[in-house]
């Protein structure tokens, strides 16, 4: 599972790839349509799509002459379960932590 999480989070680390995933939440899209809103070459967008595909977050299929992308709905399940395990902790009150440091450590 660790390798899978590493690959998923590495793919999600890039804002362009996150934007692509958000677009694909709406519907399947042709690669050219995915590339349209970005100010980069089709080849650059294709590299992002390869990373998302290798991470299992999307799949690509050729329909006629057009390559289509679709999101894989269960692909982030392991990452989601892993992140939810941190929900058991209360949110850190940074002001209280700062007061603690001032009081206890004289910072």
What pLDDT is recorded for position 82?
84
Instruction: Using 50 as the pLDDT threshold, list the residues of the chain that sit under it.
Output: none
CATH 3.90.1150.10 at 2-105, yes or no: no
Segments making up each domain of the chain, as ranges: 2-105
Owner of token pair 């679709």: 70
Per-residue H/E/C for 6-61:
HHHHHHHCCHHHHHHHHHHHHCCEEHHHHHCCCCCCHHHHHHHHHHHHHCCCEEEE
The model's pLDDT over 4-18, given as tens digits with 9 standing for 90+, comes to: 889 999 999 999 999
Total-model pTM? 0.77
């Amino acid at each position: 599972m660790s390798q899978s999480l590493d690959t998923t989070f590495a793919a999600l680390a890039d804002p362009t790839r996150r934007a692509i995933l958000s677009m694909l939440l709406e519907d399947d899209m042709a690669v050219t349509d995915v590339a349209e809103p970005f100010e980069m070459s089709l080849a650059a967008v294709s590299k992002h799509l390869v990373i998302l595909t290798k991470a299992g977050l999307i799949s690509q299929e050729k329909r006629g002459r057009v390559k289509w992308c679709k999101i894989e709905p269960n692909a982030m399940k392991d990452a989601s379960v892993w992140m939810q395990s941190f929900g058991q902790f209360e949110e850190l009150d940074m002001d209280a932590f700062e007061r603690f440091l001032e009081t206890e450590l004289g910072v």
